[in-house]
Amino acid sequence: MPMLSIWFFRTAILFLIAGICLGLYMSITHEFAATGAHAHINLLGWVTMAIFGIYYALNPVQAASRIARLQYFIYTLGILVMAPSLFLMLSGNPAMEPLVAISSLVTFSGVLLFAFILFTRKA
């Protein structure tokens, strides 16, 4: 399997662990304000990342490209900043909103870069 796929899966499992910990925390405390952060960590950080990893495993030529590595870094950076800032914002810190907005756009850039790779790169 290409190293890039392994990194997508390694990063994804860390987000799943974090997302489940937050889910358990919400269940234990009965405090559900941060449900949106839990959902995004799990769906962007675990599900979507794992799908990227599968795609690159099926396309090792693309996985070896510089633009694919760039896509990994941009997407991961976006979620790494977005997850805690979204959690803090939903937990009652409105000052986090600009950081949530910027990191959301960084994450979206990672998705757009993936779309670019899908439509332009040869298999």
Q: Which residues bind ligand HEM (CB under 6 A)?
A: 20, 23-24, 26-27, 32, 35, 38-39, 42-43, 46-47
> Whole-angstrom Cα distance, residue 49 to residue 51?
5
Nearer to ligand HEM, 28 or 123 (CB): 28
Q: State in Å, rounded, how far the first CA of the chain is from the last one.
A: 16
Nearer to ligand HEM, 23 or 84 (CB): 23
Q: How many residues does the chain have?
A: 123
* Least gap, CB of 24 to ligand HEM (angstroms): 5
H-helix or E-strand spanning residue 46: none
Nearer to ligand HEM, 24 or 101 (CB): 24
Nearer to ligand HEM, 35 or 93 (CB): 35
Chain residue at closest Cβ approach to ligand HEM: 23
Residue type, 8: F
Residue type, 32: F
- CA 67 from chain centre, in angstroms, equals 17
* Least gap, CB of 23 to ligand HEM (angstroms): 3
